[in-house]
Chains A and B, each alone.
Chain A
């Protein structure tokens, strides 16, 4: 109730004026926001409401928040997404943390903007399975067209931010923010682990596509990944690097949810991924002692910070 009142007050104060979002420690102050969809408190509030609205799904059973659970770092615990009528998708629900900084969306990067992305699950037959016309009809008068729906949802998703983790405080100069074990893990992360080859920058992702061999079974990929977008052989089995922000809350891991724990993920990379014709050349076996593996996992757990969303 208090939150609702706060929202109303904020709305009254800001009307549709451009609104400045508080950026957590560790993330860039500059957030790319398209000129045609400036961030306003009004749109953020509407987007938040729509994010939880089950009318956006065919059978009115599933809202965006049904898979992107706010209490679960905006993903869920299922290996692959489950949509309306229990339809199973092929890929894991990606977390929405810090997607405001994204340059490519979905595991295969087929969409370039958040405004386009937010509508895709609505119309996808294995997700919410609703036409945009029907969606708008159901939501009137809150929205009058698909663009308003897209702009509001994208605005809200931009407010879902995670930072201010022990790692961020350490990077900012608080030497005691990480314990000795976590610091060893950081050293491995940047050093012989080679993790920063892909998990780099404030959001701990290069927003690029890599083949680590996950899903390569009996000489073929169950999911061709990025190849479906580029038709380039070298992109077979390549998927977008996910953020490691709050990664301890993001399991099961990888695009198909096939690795249950962080320990499984570390072991996957220690082995050099899964050999296949298109394995990323940067993936190679890493020699880590058990102590080093534990330290790396502890460091990964230090990437967890509070999640902010909405106004």
Chain B
């Protein structure tokens, strides 16, 4: 089950050039890969004894615990396949003594409850349920098991550090923070302090390590340095904090002795060059448990022979820059430029900063387009080429759809919705650029940009996804959560279920992950996912057999068709999670890396 290899090998394999630099430490450090299959996730915490890991069973969405020694998974919740459809467990934390698990549960009203369940799966109950809190993340338990250190992410886009009673769910909000929530929070072994990381300056990227009294009486900046200091973890005896820092040029583990909530010395280097790790906890035996992101995503282009249903040119990497973190491409209306999202900054459960890059595929010129967005989920080039429609959230805390000027990046809000979520809405421009069509849950809405008036184009019994406008601008295609594909005339008309005589290539347990029209408007390109693989299908709109297009290994959705050629843009690769353990990290205190 476990593979044992020096951390240098593990990290260097995944991130050439970013791994360990110290040969001494590399040869001495012993790591174990604890979990690496497709279901691996670091949404939970290890138990204090290092025996268990709370997690999500990604096959069902249930809360589970994994026996780290054997890999045995045990579900603690049992979702009803119909009644609880759409619900799932998310972040979780194991209580002291391994008796209970606190977990976030995405409920039937589409926000997160804070729940607890016994380790045997019994006595599940909801501790806290409030749509205003929106998102909750149980981070750790107090040592006496009475309270749960919880991160709230409120509907108004602020985050809060709170202690929630494990008995009655009452809440003590200790501190409010901006949209940029802590990457890691833990309660000290004596229960007196919370350690967390926080931005040094609003709008900045570097963080410091903060220490907050659990009774709210005081706070101190424990680690203050211009470098980026993140992911603080308590040592099991509470005598020190281990954190990640890039102060020496690479992302290393550092140790700061702490006494009575104050630094008891200077930070010492512990282990060099850990790379893109996501530290989770230090167990009682001293093992450093961490997540590792090993996947990459890149934008590629290729030509499509629609008649033969195959790629007629070898896929080509769209950009040589920022390899491994690029996604969500779209073609300019002239077909010469490509815009895509490029993740920058640190790992943080989807809070990475995404910038827009625009590349001229002929000249190779590339530039980043700065906007005042806090999160961009996807983009669509306007038909006149002058702007990009962005779905996501702006720095004013508003979510929905925005327009960014392609030259200046100046932002304009198009549709703002309180319930849009930070990812905004999925949408397309109309052919004349005067309207947009966006999906709001089960509705397709027409939004007139001049007047701001809205009208309902279609309402469905199921949630809708992946809007795609036909090349002639007359038809809007979209998919429903039930796997059906529809098209509706944009100037209203009968809804057509597509294709009428077609065997939908969505296999059992599969799901649609994207839609695009072929350039001739006669076919739909449908991306279908199954068991972490995605395939591309060419489906005639007027009926007939769907044909599978052989795509390169690792193909993953994001298909966009070039409006002026047979070009396709798409994404290859996917983020992948692994869980690792580094034995007895504190032993390196006696033999520092430098």
> Is A196 in contact with B397, judged by CB distance below 8 angstroms?
yes
> Is A282 in contact with B397, judged by CB distance below 8 angstroms?
no
Interface residues of B in 152-196 (CB under 8 A from A): 154-158, 160, 171-176, 178
For B175, give its contact among A28, A281, A282, A287 (CB under 8 Å). Answer: A28
B219 contacts chain A at the CB level, 8 A cutoff? yes
B398 contacts chain A at the CB level, 8 A cutoff? yes
B412 contacts chain A at the CB level, 8 A cutoff? yes
Known: A30-B219, A172-B130. A192 touches B416 (CB 8 A): yes
> Is B217 in contact with A20, judged by CB distance below 8 angstroms?
yes
Interface residues of B in 97-134 (CB under 8 A from A): 129-130, 132
> Is B395 in contact with A190, judged by CB distance below 8 angstroms?
no
Interface window among A46-54, A197-205, A216-224, A226-234 = A197-205
User: Nearest-CB distance from B225 to chain A (Å)?
Assistant: 21
> Is A194 in contact with B398, judged by CB distance below 8 angstroms?
yes
Residue of A nearest to B162 (CB): A29
For A282, give its contact among B155, B158, B396 (CB under 8 Å). Answer: B396
> Is A284 in contact with B412, judged by CB distance below 8 angstroms?
yes
User: Nearest-CB distance from A278 to chain B (Å)?
Assistant: 15
Please report the C-alpha to C-alpha distance between residue A311 and residue B48 in the assembled complex, in whole angstroms.
43
Please report the C-alpha to C-alpha distance between residue A35 and residue B219 in the assembled complex, in whole angstroms.
10
Residue of B nearest to A204 (CB): B156
Encode A25-36 as 1/0 by CB contact (under 8 A) with B: 000111111010
Please report the C-alpha to C-alpha distance between residue A170 and residue B411 in the assembled complex, in whole angstroms.
32
> Is B157 in contact with A196, judged by CB distance below 8 angstroms?
yes
User: Nearest-CB distance from B148 to chain A (Å)?
Assistant: 16
The number of chain A residues with a CB under 8 A from chain B is 30
Interface extent on B, as a size class? 35 or more
> Is B418 in contact with A171, judged by CB distance below 8 angstroms?
no
B372 contacts chain A at the CB level, 8 A cutoff? yes
Most buried by B among A30, A196, A281: A30
Which chain A residues border B65 with CB–CB below 8 Å? Answer: none
B216 contacts chain A at the CB level, 8 A cutoff? yes
Which chain B residues border A29 with CB–CB below 8 Å? Answer: 172-175, 215-216
A173 contacts chain B at the CB level, 8 A cutoff? yes
> Is B397 in contact with A190, judged by CB distance below 8 angstroms?
yes
> Is A200 in contact with B156, judged by CB distance below 8 angstroms?
yes
For A281, give its contact among B178, B218, B219, B372 (CB under 8 Å). Answer: B372
Residue of B nearest to A281 (CB): B372
A187 contacts chain B at the CB level, 8 A cutoff? yes
Please report the C-alpha to C-alpha distance between residue A28 and residue B413 in the assembled complex, in whole angstroms.
32
Which chain A residues border B146 with CB–CB below 8 Å? Answer: none
B494 contacts chain A at the CB level, 8 A cutoff? no
> Is A197 in contact with B174, judged by CB distance below 8 angstroms?
no
B81 contacts chain A at the CB level, 8 A cutoff? no
Say whether chain B's binding surface is mostly helix, strand, loop, or mixed.
loop
Interface residues of A in 140-176 (CB under 8 A from B): 170-173
> Is B175 in contact with A197, judged by CB distance below 8 angstroms?
no
Known: A191-B418, A192-B398. A201 touches B130 (CB 8 A): no
Which chain A residues border B213 with CB–CB below 8 Å? Answer: 30
Which chain B residues border A194 with CB–CB below 8 Å? Answer: 396-398, 413, 416
Encode B380-404 as 1/0 by CB contact (under 8 A) with A: 0000000000000011111010000
> Is B176 in contact with A28, judged by CB distance below 8 angstroms?
yes
Please report the C-alpha to C-alpha distance between residue A65 and residue B90 in the assembled complex, in whole angstroms.
51
A77 contacts chain B at the CB level, 8 A cutoff? no
> Is B158 in contact with A201, judged by CB distance below 8 angstroms?
yes
> Is A173 in contact with B132, judged by CB distance below 8 angstroms?
yes
Known: A187-B418, A194-B398, A197-B397. A30 touches B157 (CB 8 A): no
Which chain B residues border A281 with CB–CB below 8 Å? Answer: 372, 410-411
Known: A29-B172, A29-B216, A197-B395. A190 touches B158 (CB 8 A): no
Which chain B residues border A31 with CB–CB below 8 Å? Answer: 216
> Is A190 in contact with B412, judged by CB distance below 8 angstroms?
no
Interface residues of A in 31-45 (CB under 8 A from B): 31-33, 35
Interface residues of B in 187-220 (CB under 8 A from A): 202, 212-213, 215-219
Which chain A residues border B226 with CB–CB below 8 Å? Answer: none
For B130, give its contact among A30, A173, A187, A191 (CB under 8 Å). Answer: A173
User: Nearest-CB distance from B195 to chain A (Å)?
Assistant: 14
Which chain A residues border B129 with CB–CB below 8 Å? Answer: 173
Residue of B nearest to A189 (CB): B156
Which chain A residues border B396 with CB–CB below 8 Å? Answer: 194, 196-198, 282
Please report the C-alpha to C-alpha distance between residue A284 and residue B129 in the assembled complex, in whole angstroms.
35
A275 contacts chain B at the CB level, 8 A cutoff? no
> Is A196 in contact with B156, judged by CB distance below 8 angstroms?
yes
For B155, give its contact among A35, A190, A197, A208 (CB under 8 Å). Answer: A190
> Is A190 in contact with B216, judged by CB distance below 8 angstroms?
no
Most buried by B among A191, A194, A197: A191
> Is A30 in contact with B174, judged by CB distance below 8 angstroms?
yes
B500 contacts chain A at the CB level, 8 A cutoff? no
Other A-B contacts than A29-B215, A190-B398, A196-B397, 19 sampled, CB-CB below 8 A, are: A28-B160, A28-B173, A28-B216, A29-B172, A30-B213, A30-B217, A32-B219, A172-B171, A173-B130, A190-B156, A191-B398, A191-B418, A192-B413, A194-B397, A197-B394, A206-B202, A281-B372, A281-B410, A287-B452
7 A-B residue pairs with CB within 8 Å: A29-B216, A172-B130, A172-B171, A196-B396, A196-B397, A197-B397, A206-B202
What are the 5 tightest A-B residue pairs by CB atom distance, in nearest-first order?
A197-B396, A29-B216, A196-B397, A30-B216, A173-B130
Give the interface of A toward B (CB within 8 A). 20, 23, 28-33, 35, 170-173, 187, 190-192, 194, 196-198, 200-202, 206, 208, 281-282, 284, 287
